[in-house]
Amino acid sequence: MSERTDRELLAAHVAGDRDAFGVLFTRHRDRMWAVALRTMGNHEDAADGLQDGMIAAYRRASSYRGDAAVTTWLHRVVVNACLDRLRAGKVRRADPLPDDLDERSGRGSLVAADPSGTPDPADVAVRHERRGVVLDALATLPPEQRAALVLVDMEGYPVAEAAVMLDCPVGTVKSRCSRGRARLAELLAPLLDAERDADDVPARNPVPPAPVSPGDPPRGPPVS
């Protein structure tokens, strides 16, 4: 028997299959977790938001009309649950932001992975610091702007699909992203300036001497 599609799993759940929803959730868990984590800002709130969303999806599965992909519908439910928590102030704002986002999802990494598979420790430290600054800035945005940027810029969803997830017009998503990007650019200006200045610093090591050919005379101080 071939693997059931998302729609078949959701329909089976509505029909009474006790295992179908668990299979569906497991299939898309990592991507929904990444969205919840970036939207909420820490592990505990992300877990609460994801749990709220999954309970709502489990109970309201019969309301799925089929006018969007099941994954889009699931993300919409999860994002709404996260936004509800943010609007209600049910968040742990003092908690540190997570540093394992890229391990949770292969999409929209804030920091590109090292192609060699053996990153330099100094590079890792710089990346962690940069990622922390970006996430701290993201956490200051209004919930709706944050959710739009997470979906479009970090998770890579098309604006039209993000609009379905956020239950708003496409123009509203574009506007939220535009305002959010402008605010992030303002907040991250010191980081960008520091990196630009670092790139402009000349190398401290002197230029190495040209190699000596076997036939060249030996180099040294002039002989008087």
Structural domains counted in the chain: 1
Least confident window among 8-22, 27-41, 113-127, 177-191:
113-127
Rounded to an integer, what is the distance from CA 119 to the centroid of its chain?
A: 20
Least confident window among 23-37, 80-94, 117-131:
117-131
Please report which helix (H) or strand (E) contains residue 112, including its range. none
Judge contact between 20 and 12, C-beta under 8 A: yes
pLDDT of residue 87: 87
Answer yes or no: is 215 within a domain. no
Answer yes or no: is 219 within a domain. no
Answer yes or no: is 66 within a domain. yes
Mean pLDDT, rounded, of the chain: 78
String of b and e for 34-69 (b: at least 16 CB within 10 Å)? Answer: bbbbbbbbbbebbebbbebbbebbeeebeebeeeee
Judge contact between 98 and 33, C-beta under 8 A: no
pLDDT of residue 41: 84
CATH classification at residue 164: 1.10.1740.10
Answer yes or no: is 99 within a domain. yes
Q: How much is the average pLDDT of 203-212?
A: 49
Answer yes or no: is 214 within a domain. no
Q: pTM for the whole thing?
A: 0.69
Residue 75, burial from CB neighbour count under 10 angstroms (0-12, 13-18, 19+): buried
Q: How much is the average pLDDT of 130-140?
A: 78
**Structural domain range at position 75:** 6-199
pLDDT of residue 98: 42
For the stretch 67-110, pLDDT in tens is: 899 999 999 999 999 999 998 886 655 444 444 444 444 443 33
Judge contact between 28 and 53, C-beta under 8 A: no
